[in-house]
Structure 1
Amino acid sequence: MKNIIFLISFLLVVPAIAQMGETQQEDEKAVKTSKNLTWEANEDLQENEFVSAEAKYRRAIDKSKTNVAAPYNLGNAYYERDSYLEAFGRFKEAGENAASKAEKHRAYHNMGNVFMKNKEYQKAVEAYKEALRNDPTDEETRYNLALAKEMLKKQQQEQPENQDKEDQQDKKEEENQDKEEQDGGDQQDNNDQQDENKGDKQDGEDGDQGEQEKEENKEGDGEEKQEKKEPQQSNQQQPRPNQLSPQQIENLLEAMQNEEKKVQEKMDAKKVKGVPLKNKKDW
């Protein structure tokens, strides 16, 4: 029974060992390819072929994470071109994947240099300290650390003055803003008052205009009534169809007087001659 269990265990272990051997062989091949690409990229940098060198460094990094020379050298290439953000990322990558203290020392030393360029002196001090932990004998790192501490001290001394200036500037801006808001409010009040006065004036003008229109309408109505009344009076002065005119009345009276005169003459003649004579025709 024990022999059967041992045999099964052995059969399970042998494929695993074979797989580990193949993986190790592939890793060694990848590392070798990565190092060759790094060497070619270094040659391209010597010829000022940065684009080609950058592409090969990236391929070398993808091939193997253990080849920290690829990200470290690419970081140096970025640093020389003042691309400090990209340089810091590659130095950090190299420091995290470094297997030896020497590699970590170089990576953190250069990260400190990037912080110094960006005037981030507190971070530079921490980076140089980490570099010295991995190589306490490096005098260049020690010098940079001392310089970073001095610059940090000077920065901290200047901060209160800068803070006071910033506070004064903020206070001045706030006062100016308050003044602008107040001026804007006063201007708005003036505009509102002007609009109100304008409205009152307009109402007054509209009222006067309305009164004037009423007066004009009243006068117009009076004139219209007068015009209507005048034709009625003129109609009263004109003769009606069944009424005699003054001239006709005068003619009629004259005719009556003449007739009356004739009658009187006939009466007088009758008194003288007796029986009146008949006319040839009746009157």
Structure 2
Amino acid sequence: MKQLLSIISIFFITISFAQEKQDKERLLALKNANNYVYEGNNLVSEDDYVSGEMAYRKAISENPNSVEGNFNLGNAYYQKGSLMEALYRHQEAANSSVSKEEKHKAFHNIGNILMQNKKCSEAVEAYKNALRNNPTDDETRYNLALAKECAKQEQENKDQNEDDKNNDENKEDQDQKDENKKDKDNEGDQQEDEKEDGDEKEKEGDDQEDDQGKPNDDKDDKGKEGDKKDEDKKPPKPQEGRMSPQQIKNLLEAMNNQEQKVQEKMNAEKQKGVPVKTDKDW
């Protein structure tokens, strides 16, 4: 029994020494981390960002959850213009923070970095998180108002770009439709021209066939001309209901002879003194 108690006592004493050692090492790491943070702050204040960055990294190496190390390293990156590295370090600081004040500072700086990157909507959320941890900070509230206005303009620009894109797509579709219609019209005109060319060729073929028949027609015409000459030599045949020229000539001669006889008779009567009756032209 005494032996068992001795073993248990030794066990607890060993655990106690191990815990004490770990606590000493942890305290030493925190002390070293704080020292490196202090050193980094002094270097950055002298614009020696390269050495300051190395000091902050040593602080984080001693204590990976060092809020001061990540926060100050993020500020150093921000001042150098390395915004992506600064954003990452402030996010680490926000995740490692245990107090509201630390979280407020981390989220406030995250909002500033996002505003620099023209990510206004995300900056609005960051400033809101900062105000949740410290609602009395007027600077954060002012930055939130700016971020909201920026996000509004960002959304309007996005909507305008969407409208322009849709208009461009609609215009391209309309242009394509017009182009297709034009192609169809040109195709129809081409088919019509080809049809007209075919009709003209067909007509030319008919004309050529007619030309090939012309020699026979000429012969027939020559024969007709010969027949006409023969008919001219023959005396004209009187047509029914009409007098021939010879009959008219004979009739005129008979009328002249008759008139001459009447005139001779009248002259003979005048010589005898016998009055002559004439028809009056009344």
Q: Which whole-Å deviations, capped at 9, do the CAs of 1:211-242 have from their partners, x for residues lacking one? A: xxxxxxxxxxxxxxxxxxxxxxxxxxxxxxxx
Partner residue in 1 for 2:129: 130
Give the partner amino acid of 2:135: P
1:129 Cα offset (Å): 1.2
Q: CA RMSD in A?
A: 2.9
Partner residue in 1 for 2:143: 144
1:26-41 map, 5 Å: 26-41=25-40
Partner residue in 2 for 1:279: none
Report SS of the residue matched to 1:53: helix
Does the aligned pair in 2 maintain the 1:61–1:67 contact within 8 Å?
Answer: yes
Report SS of the residue matched to 1:113: helix
1:61-210 map, 5 Å: 61-170=60-169
Does the aligned pair in 2 maintain the 1:95–1:108 contact within 8 Å?
Answer: yes
Change (3 A) 1:114 1:179: farther
Whole-angstrom CA distance in 1 between matches of 2:8 and 2:165:
74
Does the aligned pair in 2 maintain the 1:31–1:66 contact within 8 Å?
Answer: no
Does the aligned pair in 2 maintain the 1:44–1:52 contact within 8 Å?
Answer: yes
Whole-angstrom CA distance in 2 between matches of 1:130 and 1:116:
15
1:172 Cα offset (Å): 5.9
Change (3 A) 1:103 1:158: same
Does the aligned pair in 2 maintain the 1:65–1:97 contact within 8 Å?
Answer: no
1:151 Cα offset (Å): 1.8
Whole-angstrom CA distance in 2 between matches of 1:22 and 1:178:
82
Worse-superposed segment, 4-13 or 88-97:
4-13
1:179 Cα offset (Å): 11
1:16 Cα offset (Å): 1.6
Aligned length: 182
Give the partner amino acid of 1:145: L
Q: Which whole-Å deviations, capped at 9, do the CAs of 1:156-209 have from their partners, x for residues lacking one? A: 2332211111233456678899999xxxxxxxxxxxxxxxxxxxxxxxxxxxxx
Report SS of the residue matched to 2:13: helix
1:30 Cα offset (Å): 1.0
Whole-angstrom CA distance in 2 between matches of 1:101 and 1:6:
47
Give the partner amino acid of 1:64: N
- Structure 2 unaligned blocks of 5 or more: 180-282
Give the TM-score of the pair, scaled to structure 1: 0.57
Whole-angstrom CA distance in 1 between matches of 2:172 and 2:77:
41
- Structure 1 unaligned blocks of 5 or more: 181-283
1:33 Cα offset (Å): 1.1
Whole-angstrom CA distance in 1 between matches of 2:3 and 2:35:
49
1:50 Cα offset (Å): 1.4
Over the matched positions of the two proteins, sequence identity in percent amounts to 42
Whole-angstrom CA distance in 1 between matches of 2:178 and 2:22:
74
Change (3 A) 1:43 1:179: farther
Q: Which whole-Å deviations, capped at 9, do the CAs of 1:56-97 have from their partners, x for residues lacking one? A: 111111111343111111111111222110100010111111
Whole-angstrom CA distance in 2 between matches of 1:36 and 1:99:
21
Give the TM-score of the pair, scaled to structure 2: 0.57
Whole-angstrom CA distance in 1 between matches of 2:68 and 2:139:
21
Whole-angstrom CA distance in 1 between matches of 2:8 and 2:176:
82
Partner residue in 1 for 2:57: 58
